[in-house]
Structure formats: C-alpha cells, structure tokens
C-alpha cells in the first residue's frame, strides 16, 4: 500500500466523509483539531478510527487516540505506521 502523504490524505478524507457525509472536506484545515472542525461525537470518531484501521490495516491502539487531534496528526500517524517494515 502506498505511503504517499497526498494519497493518505485523500483516502483519509474519503473515509471521514463516509462517516460524516455533511462534512465539506475542501474547507478542512490540516493543523486545526479535527473534531472542532466537524461535528463528530465520540461514536462517530471511533467509527472513523475503525475505518482507518480496516482500510489501511493499521492497528490504532486506544492509547494513541489522544495523539490524533488534527488531520495532519492522523495522516502523519498513518504514514509512520505504514512506513514500518
């Protein structure tokens, strides 16, 4: 699977939009806390993280959830996990 940052971002946005179709992904800022930008309750957030796990095959332990604040954080996290052998 590709670890290209732009591809990861595009796929992450697609998965986010599947959970919250009302989100206008074109207006999202990379460094702003994601949950502040979109109206995701804790269940939607969990479903989003599960969809990332299922799509990318990346294990996201609950202990890492607090590190996934912005869209940049999520993409960088995925990039680092997918780059590991």
Query: What are the structural domains of the chain?
Result: 5-21+33-83 (1.10.1200)
Tens digit of each residue's pLDDT (9 = 90 or more) over 15-54 = 999 999 999 999 999 999 998 899 889 999 999 999 999 9
pLDDT of 84 reads: 79
pLDDT of 71 reads: 96
The reported pTM is: 0.90
Q: What average pLDDT does the segment 57-63 reach?
A: 95
The Cα angle at residue 67 between residues 83 and 3, in degrees rounded to 5: 20
Cβ count near 5 (within 10 Å): 13
pLDDT of 1 reads: 54
Please, which residues have CB within 8 angstroms of residue 25's CB and are 6 or more apart in sequence? Answer: 13, 16, 17
- How big, in percent rounded to 5, are the helix, strand and coil portions of the chain? 65, 0, 30
Instruction: Give me the chain's average pLDDT, please.
Output: 93
């Amino acid at each position: 699977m590709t670890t290209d940052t732009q591809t990861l971002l595009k796929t992450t946005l697609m998965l986010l939009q599947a959970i919250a179709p009302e989100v206008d992904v074109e207006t999202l800022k990379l460094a702003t806390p994601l949950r502040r930008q979109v109206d995701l309750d804790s269940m939607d957030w969990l479903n989003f993280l599960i969809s990332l796990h299922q799509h990318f095959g990346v294990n996201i332990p609950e202990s890492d959830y607090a590190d996934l604040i912005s869209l940049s954080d999520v993409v960088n996290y995925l990039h680092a996990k997918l780059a590991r052998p």
